Amino acid sequence: MQSTATPQTKEQYRALGLSTFAFTVCFAVWTLFSIIGVSIKQDLGLSDTQFGLLVATPVLTGSVSRIFLGIWTERFGGRVVFPLQMLITALAVWLLTSVQSYEVFLLAALGLGLAGGSFIVGVAYVSRWFEPAKQGTALGIFGAGNVGAAVTNFAAPFLVLALGWEGTARIYAVALAATAVLYFLLAKTDPVQERRQRSGGQQATLAQQLAPLKNLQVWRFSIYYFFVFGAFVALASFLPRYYVGAHGLELTSAGFLAGLFSLPGSVFRALGGWMSDRWGARNVIYFTFFTSMLVLFLMGVPGGRYMVQGIYGLVEFDFSVSLGFFVALTVALGFVMSLGSAAVFKHIPVYYPQHVGAVGGLVGMIGGLGGFVLPIAFGMLLDATGIWTAPFMLLFLLVAVSTLWMHLAIRRMERAPETALAAEA
C-alpha cells in the first residue's frame, strides 16, 4: 500500500518531529541541576541560600529569555534560532565542568537557563507549518517534549554515579551540541520565512512585533499560563517536601508520589491540543479551571477536628484527606493542567498569527516566572501560617480569579457583534 502522505504533510511531520526531539533534549538540560546540584553544593561548600539561588537561576533565565527568543524566531526563523540557542546553551553546560568560583557558576547557570527558552522557539517555528485547525494538536505534541525532565530524573543519577557530575555535564553538553547540528542540517526554513526571503519583504520592526503586548487579552493569557504551567512547575518542586513534612514519608517515596503528579503534565499535552482543535481552546480551559478549583479546594482544607454551630449547639467532627485520595487528586490536577497548557497556546496563533513569537514569548515568560515566584510564596505561607495546605489555598484563589476574569472577558466579547466570531476561537 502506498503512502497517502503529501510532500507538504511530510514537511510538517519533519518540522514537528525534529522540534519535539530538540525540545525534549533542551528540557532535559534545563532540569539538570535537580540532579547534579547536590554534588555541586557539597564541592563548593555552599550555604542553603547560595544553593537556592544557583538552582533557581536556570528557571528564572529560562523564563525571561522566552520573550526575546520569540521575537528573534519571528524575525530570523526557527531553523536559525533553535540551533544557535542550543549551541550557546551547550557551551554554558560545558563551562560548568571547569568552573572554580561560585560567581562563575551563576554565570554558567544563566546560560544553561536558555534551554528553557527553547519552548517558544519551537512554538513559533512549528505553528508556521500547520493550518489553524491542526495547530492545537501539533503544539500539544511539541509541548510533550517536557518529558525531558523525566529523562534527566531517570538517567542522570546513573551517570553521576558512574562519571561524576562533571562527566554528566559533559555528556549533556555534547548531546545538546549534536542535536543543534542535526537540527540545522535536517530542518527546513518555515513557509513564512521562505516566502519572505523569496519576495524580499521587509522585516517587521521591533515596535510592530511588540505592539500586541499592549492588549489586555495577552496579559490575560499570561495569567492563565502562570497557573497551568507556572503552578505545575512549583508544585512539582513542592510536593516532595509536603509529603515528607505532612505525611512523614521517606524522600524516595515522596519523590515517587510527586512523580505521579508530574508525569501527566508531559504525556497529556498532546491530548489537550487535540481537544482544543476539536472542541475549542476556551472549553478546554473552562474544564481545566473548574476541575482545578474543585481539586485544590479538597487539597487545601486542613485536616483536623472542626466545631460548627448547629441547631442544638456545637457540632464537632473530624475531617482529613487520606494520603491515597490526596495522591489521586494530584494526578487529576496534573492531568487537567497539561490540557490547559496546550489550550492556552492554541489561542495564540489563532488571535495573533503574525506575532506568535512575541506574544507566545511573553505568555511563556510569565508562566515560567510562576515556577520561580510561587515556590517562594509557598515558603512564606508556610512560615506565616504553619499550615501545610496553605500553598494549595493560594493556588485555589489564583485559579478562581483567573476563571472569573476569563468568564467576564468572554461575556464582554460576546456582547460586541464585531468580535462575536473571534470569541468562538
Q: Per-residue pLDDT tens for 64-117? A: 888 888 888 888 888 999 999 999 999 999 988 887 788 888 888 889 989 988
CATH at 47: 1.20.1250.20
pLDDT in tens, 310-362: 777 777 767 778 889 999 999 999 999 989 988 887 878 777 777 776 777 77
Measured CA angle at 337 (ends 62, 120), to 5 deg:
30
Write down the pLDDT at residue 151: 80
Domain shared by 144 and 233, yes or no: no
Q: Which residues pair with 306 in a beta bridge?
A: 317
pLDDT in tens, 112-143: 989 988 988 998 899 889 887 888 788 888 88
What counts of helices (H) and strands (E) characterise the chain?
19, 2
Residue 157 sits in the same domain as residue 266: no
Is residue 199 in a domain? no
Tell me what pLDDT residue 248 has. 86
The residue ranking higher by pLDDT, 336 or 197, is 336
In a domain, residue 1? The reply is no
What is the grid cell recorded at 289?
479551571
169 and 120 co-located in one domain: yes
What's residue 378's pLDDT?
85
Both 142 and 211 in one domain: the answer is: no
E strands, 300-395, in order:
304-310, 313-319
Q: Which long-range contacts (CB under 8 A, 24 or more apart) does 98-106 make?
A: 102/44, 102/46, 102/50, 102/54, 105/40, 105/44, 105/54, 106/53, 106/54, 106/57
Residue 244 burial (CB < 10 Å; 0-12/13-18/19+)?
middle
327/201: higher pLDDT: 327
Q: Please tell me the number of Cα atoms within 13 Å of 48 on its side-chain side.
A: 0
Alpha carbons 302 and 224: distance in angstroms, whole number: 26
Decide: helix, strand or coil at residue 189: coil
d(CA 178, CA 30): 16
Same domain, 22 and 141: yes
Residue 425: its pLDDT value, please?
A: 39
Q: Are residues 46 and 185 in the same domain?
A: yes
Nearest to 68 by CA among 121, 111, 9: 121
Q: What is the pLDDT of residues 217-266, one digit of tens each?
A: 778 888 888 999 888 878 877 887 788 888 888 766 777 787 788 777 77
| pLDDT score at 207 | 62
Q: Which amino acid is at 376?
A: I
* The total number of structural domains that make up the chain: 2
- Please name which of 108, 100, 103, 101 lies closest in space to residue 173, comparing C-alpha atoms: 108
Task: Share the mean pLDDT of the chain.
Answer: 82
Same domain membership, residue 187 and residue 221: no
Residues 220 and 189 in one domain: no
Last residue of a domain, one of 193, 224, 251: 193
Among residues 64, 146, 166, the alpha carbon closest in space to that of 111 is found at: 64
Q: Is residue 29 part of a domain?
A: yes
Whether residue 290 contacts residue 171, with contact meaning beta carbons closer than 8 Å, is answered with no
Q: Considering the domain boundaries, does residue 201 fall inside one?
A: no
Task: Report whether 391 contacts 238 (CB < 8 A).
Answer: yes
- The helix-helix angle for 216-225 and 323-351 (nearest 10°) equals 150
∠ CA 303-308-311 to the nearest 5 degrees? 150
Residue 3 in domain? no
Q: Please check whether residue 323 lies inside any domain of the structure.
A: yes
Q: What is the pTM of this model?
A: 0.73
Q: How far apart are CA 115 and CA 31, in angstroms?
A: 9
**Are both 112 and 233 inside the same structural domain?**
no
**Residue 232 within a domain:** yes
Note whether residue 198 is domain-resident. Answer: no
Q: Are residues 40 and 79 in the same domain?
A: yes
| One domain for residues 140 and 264 | no
Which of 193, 221, 249 marks a domain boundary? Answer: 193
Parent domain of 128: 9-193
Residues 216, 166 share a domain: no
